[in-house]
C-alpha cells in the first residue's frame, strides 16, 4: 500500500452559481511527506469548496486517509461507509501503524490530530467526556449538546462544547485530571491497540462505562 500523498484534480461546479472550479481531491494525505497539508486540514483549508465568483464557502468532506508516517498514525476519514470503504479499509489494515482510527467528520479528524500532538490517548479523552456529561446535566436538559471536542492552547487542555441554542462554550481540563483518568481507566482498555482500525468516540466510551458496569 502506497502511503504517499495522492490527489486527483477534478472539475467541480459551484452549487450556487455554477462556475466550474478545479479542485484537488486527496485520497491520501501524508503529513510527514507534506507537513503543510496538516496545517491546511487544521485550518479548514483542505476539505472545503470556495467559489471566487459568488463567494460561497462550503465544507467538502470525502473519503480520505490521513497518514503521519513519523508518528505512526493512520486516520481513515469516511463520512459514509460503503462497500468500497470496507474494501479500502481492509487494504489499509495491512499497513503497519501505531494508531489506526476511523473518523466520520472533519472535526473528528482534527480532534484526533490535536490529541496525538499532545501525546494523549484518545480513548482516555473520550472517557473524560463521558464524565463531563454528568456535570453538564442541567445544561443538557435546557439545550441540545451536539458535540464535545478536545482542544488545547499551550499547556492548557479544553473541551469545546457545541450547544444547539447557546452556541460554542469552552471548559478547561487540567493535565492532573487527564493523568487521574488515565490511571482509573487503564485496566479497562489494556494496552494501546495499534494494529486494527477502531472508531473511538463518545459512543465507544459510553458503551464501556454504562454497559459493562
Ligand atoms: Zn459560486
Does residue 27 sit within a domain? Answer: yes
Q: Are 132 and 112 part of one and the same domain?
A: no
**Alpha helices per DSSP H over the chain:** 35-42, 83-93, 106-117, 122-135, 137-142, 175-189, 202-211
Does residue 173 sit within a domain? Answer: yes
Does residue 152 sit within a domain? Answer: yes
Ligand 1 centroid to residue 159 C-alpha, Å: 35
Q: Are 37 and 133 part of one and the same domain?
A: no
Residues 132 and 112: their CA atoms lie apart, in Å, by: 19
DSSP-derived letter for residue 121 is -
pTM: 0.93
Q: Are 156 and 99 part of one and the same domain?
A: no
Res 123: pLDDT: 95
Q: Are 84 and 110 part of one and the same domain?
A: yes
Ligand 1 centroid to residue 58 C-alpha, Å: 10
- The predicted-structure confidence for 34-63, as pLDDT tens digits, reads as follows 999 999 999 999 999 999 999 999 999 999
Does residue 1 sit within a domain? Answer: no
> Which residue stretches of the chain have pLDDT < 50?
213
Q: 85 is in which domain, residue-wise?
A: 6-117
Res 192: pLDDT: 61
Ligand 1 centroid to residue 144 C-alpha, Å: 33
Ligand 1 centroid to residue 172 C-alpha, Å: 40
User: Among 96, 117, 138, which residue terminates a domain?
Assistant: 117
Residue 21, Cβ neighbours under 10 Å: how many? 14
Ligand 1 centroid to residue 16 C-alpha, Å: 5
201: left (phi over 0), alpha (psi -120 to 50) or beta: beta
Q: Are 135 and 78 part of one and the same domain?
A: no
Ligand 1 centroid to residue 53 C-alpha, Å: 5
Amino acid at each position: 500500500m502506497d502511503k504517499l500523498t495522492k490527489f486527483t484534480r477534478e472539475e467541480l461546479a459551484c452549487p450556487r452559481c455554477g462556475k466550474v472550479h478545479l479542485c484537488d481531491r486527496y485520497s491520501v494525505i501524508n503529513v510527514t511527506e507534506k507537513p503543510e497539508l496538516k496545517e491546511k486540514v487544521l485550518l479548514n483549508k483542505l476539505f472545503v469548496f470556495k467559489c471566487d465568483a459568488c463567494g460561497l464557502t462550503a465544507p467538502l468532506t470525502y473519503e480520505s486517509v490521513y497518514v503521519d508516517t513519523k508518528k505512526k498514525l493512520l486516520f481513515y476519514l469516511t463520512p459514509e461507509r460503503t462497500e468500497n470503504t470496507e474494501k479500502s479499509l481492509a487494504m489499509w489494515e495491512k499497513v503497519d501503524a501505531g494508531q489506526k482510527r476511523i473518523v466520520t467528520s472533519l472535526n473528528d479528524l482534527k480532534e484526533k490530530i490535536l490529541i496525538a500532538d499532545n501525546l494523549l490517548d484518545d480513548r482516555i479523552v473520550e472517557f473524560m467526556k463521558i464524565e463531563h456529561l454528568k456535570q453538564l446535566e442541567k445544561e443538557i436538559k435546557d439545550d441540545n449538546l451536539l458535540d464535545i471536542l478536545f482542544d488545547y492552547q499551550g499547556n492548557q487542555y479544553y473541551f469545546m462544547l457545541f450547544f444547539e441554542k447557546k452556541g460554542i462554550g469552552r471548559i478547561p481540563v487540567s493535565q492532573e485530571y487527564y493523568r487521574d483518568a488515565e490511571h482509573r481507566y487503564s485496566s479497562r482498555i489494556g494496552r494501546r491497540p495499534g494494529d486494527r482500525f477502531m472508531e473511538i468516540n463518545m459512543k465507544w466510551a459510553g458503551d464501556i462505562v454504562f454497559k459493562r458496569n
